[in-house]
Amino acid sequence: MAPNLVPFDGELYLIKQFYSLPESDRLFEQLKSDLAWQEEAIFIYGRWVKVPRLMCWYGDSDAWYRYSGVNHQPMPWTPVLQAIREKVEQQCQCSFNSVLANLYRDSNDSMGCHADDEKELGPNPVIASLSLGDERLFRLHHKKTNDKLDIVLGHGDLLVMAGTLQYHWMHSVPKTKKLKTSRINLTFRAIRAA
Ligand SMILES: O=C(O)CCC(=O)C(=O)O
Ligand SMILES: [Fe+2]
């Protein structure tokens, strides 16, 4: 059993090499070419701004989800996503009805600071996050104490967020000055009717 990486107020587990190197290579190439990657825009401060990464949303047909201020209908599971879902569910001993896929094209792509605390996820959600491709920093900071924690997410690693983590901590994938090639991240979630 992996140790809890946060000192308090939540649970965070890292399973390095959840997929072996050859499996991770194969999954990365398949997901990169097969998924319907889209450029999204969000409306902030009176104008539309491009989200600095590509995204898409897959899941059971009733697993609608609101992100970037827009409601998204899931696309149906592809065979590869379904296979990953089953392995992740077995690891986490819980079920997921949807997955948000993010493609960070290079070091300029990023994810701003947020908590996955939407109502549809319920209290204390388990969110399982698979990383493939180039490694990137995953940065956490505590909403009250300002404690910080940086975790490197590498090719084939699975990060599991659980307990009260989303309630107390925010997370981001910051831009970096280091040269980066592309990275895919899949976050498996259980959405319920809001
Ligand atoms: O790319 C990552 O590792 C984080 C993704 C994330 O936080 C999210 O999709 O909510
Ligand atoms: Fe997140």
Higher pLDDT, 141 or 46: 141
Question: Which range marks the domain in which residue 107 is found?
Answer: 11-189
Q: Tell whether 42 is covered by a domain.
A: yes
69: pLDDT strictly greater than 80? no
The backbone torsions φ and ψ at residue 44, rounded to the nearest 5 degrees and listed phi first, read: -135, 145
Structure ipTM? 0.99
Q: Tell whether 152 is covered by a domain.
A: yes
Q: Tell whether 6 is covered by a domain.
A: no
Given this model, what pLDDT does residue 43 score?
A: 82
Ligand 1 proximal residues by C-beta, below 6 Å: 100, 102, 111, 116, 129, 131, 138, 153, 171, 173, 185, 187
User: Per the structure, how many domains does the chain have?
Assistant: 1
73: pLDDT strictly greater than 90? no
- C-alpha to C-alpha distances, 56 to 1, 17, 41, 184, nearest whole angstrom: 31, 24, 13, 11
Q: Tell whether 4 is covered by a domain.
A: no
Given this model, what pLDDT does residue 65 score?
A: 82
Compute the distance between CA of residue 19 and CA of residue 3 in angstroms, rounded to an integer.
19
Ligand nearest to the CA of 185: 1
Q: Tell whether 114 is covered by a domain.
A: yes
Compute the distance between CA of residue 27 and CA of residue 13 in angstroms, rounded to an integer.
22
Q: Tell whether 5 is covered by a domain.
A: no
Given this model, what pLDDT does residue 185 score?
A: 98
How confident is the model over 107-157, as pLDDT tens digits? Answer: 999 999 999 998 899 999 999 999 999 999 999 999 999 999 999 999 999
Burial 93-122 (b: 16+ CB within 10 A, else e): eeebbbbbbbbbeebebbbeeebbebebbe
With cut-offs at 50, 70 and 90, classify the pLDDT of residue 193: confident
- Give the CATH number of the domain where residue 32 resides: 2.60.120.590
125 Cα to the center of ligand 1, angstroms? 14
What SS3 state is found at 121?
A: helix
